[in-house]
């Protein structure tokens, strides 16, 4: 049903309620239509839905998804969602994509997703990611193209975190002799308390590889990266540039 110029008034949504047809769907893609919210018949009938894509739909609000108890993947990229657009999300969600929207902070309903493994919230307006430590199952975190200057200490609560991407933000340069003294934009707990072995930092204008190598406990990350890197890539070598994507 993607890219069919559908609106909320289109009769196709009513068919989800006819003869329980909605219960037969496990994946639904309504991307590229002219909607401002996910059609109610989908929410009321698709009780077995596992994957829902609603990208580039002009969505400005997301109704309660609690009824979708089997939903594991939700993609809402390229919409008009902001901090007030969300109600409740299904606790079963493991992968959430909300890139290319207008979020300035992490919605409270997102921070309740204890099963969330992958979060892509790139290309928004995030100034901070406070509360991120609540997503204890998170393994992949994509924060590219926001306006972040630092990552909070609570990132260390994400014991399973393996990959974090922070491309094209405003991460500040680390100067241990600065006055007033500022902590590194990437806290020590990211290296000591998580499993992270992939960090993407390119596009942060103030940062250079030499700066990042001054971060406390960075050597723990480097050693972990060396152990896990596929030796078939780049001839088995490992350069500083490959570590962070920085000059």
Domain containing 160 — which CATH number? Answer: 3.80.10.10
Render pLDDT for 31-42 as a digit per residue (tens, 0 to 9). Answer: 999 999 999 888
How many domains, in total, are found in the chain? 1
- pLDDT of 221 > 60? The answer is yes
Give mean pLDDT, residues 200-229: 91
Number of residues that make up the chain: 247
On whether residue 85 sits in a domain, the answer given is yes
On whether residue 35 sits in a domain, the answer given is yes
Q: CB-based contacts of 83: which residues, under 8 Å, 6+ apart?
A: 103, 104, 105, 107
On whether residue 6 sits in a domain, the answer given is no
CB 201 within 8 A of CB 207: yes
User: The tokens of 239 are what?
Assistant: 């350069």
With a pLDDT cut of 90, the percent of the chain lying above it is 69
Cβ count near 55 (within 10 Å) = 19
Q: Give the pLDDT confidence score for residue 227 in this predicted structure.
A: 84
On whether residue 2 sits in a domain, the answer given is no
Euclidean distance between CA atoms 104 and 102, whole angstroms: 7
Give mean pLDDT, residues 151-164: 97
Render pLDDT for 41-76 as a digit per residue (tens, 0 to 9). Answer: 888 877 889 999 999 999 999 989 999 999 999 999
Range of the domain at 39: 11-244
On whether residue 68 sits in a domain, the answer given is yes
Give mean pLDDT, residues 223-236: 66
Position 243 confidence tier, pLDDT thresholds 50, 70, 90:
confident
């Amino acid at each position: 049903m993607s890219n069919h110029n559908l609106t909320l008034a289109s009769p196709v949504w009513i068919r989800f309620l006819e003869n329980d047809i909605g219960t037969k769907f496990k994946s639904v893609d309504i991307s590229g239509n002219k909607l401002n919210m996910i059609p109610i018949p989908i929410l009321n009938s698709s009780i077995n839905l596992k994957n829902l894509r609603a990208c580039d739909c002009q969505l400005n609000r997301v109704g309660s998804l609690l009824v979708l108890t089997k939903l594991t993947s939700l993609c809402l990229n390229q919409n008009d969602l902001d901090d007030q657009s969300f109600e409740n999300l299904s606790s079963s969600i493991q992968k959430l994509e909300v890139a290319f929207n207008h979020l300035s902070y992490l919605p409270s309903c997102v921070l309740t997703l204890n099963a969330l493994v992958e979060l892509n919230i790139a290309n928004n307006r995030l100034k901070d990611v406070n509360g991120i430590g609540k997503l204890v199952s998170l393994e992949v975190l994509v924060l590219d193209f926001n306006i972040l200057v630092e990552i909070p200490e609570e990132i260390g609560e994400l014991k399973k975190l393996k990959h974090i991407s922070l491309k094209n933000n405003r991460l500040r340069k680390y100067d241990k002799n600065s006055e007033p003294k500022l902590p590194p934009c990437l806290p020590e707990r990211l290296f000591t308390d998580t499993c992270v072995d992939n960090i993407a930092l390119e596009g942060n204008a103030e940062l250079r590889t030499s700066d990042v190598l001054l971060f406390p406990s960075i050597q723990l990350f480097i050693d972990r990266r060396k152990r896990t890197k596929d030796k078939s890539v780049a001839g088995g070598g490992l350069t500083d540039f490959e570590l962070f994507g920085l000059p």
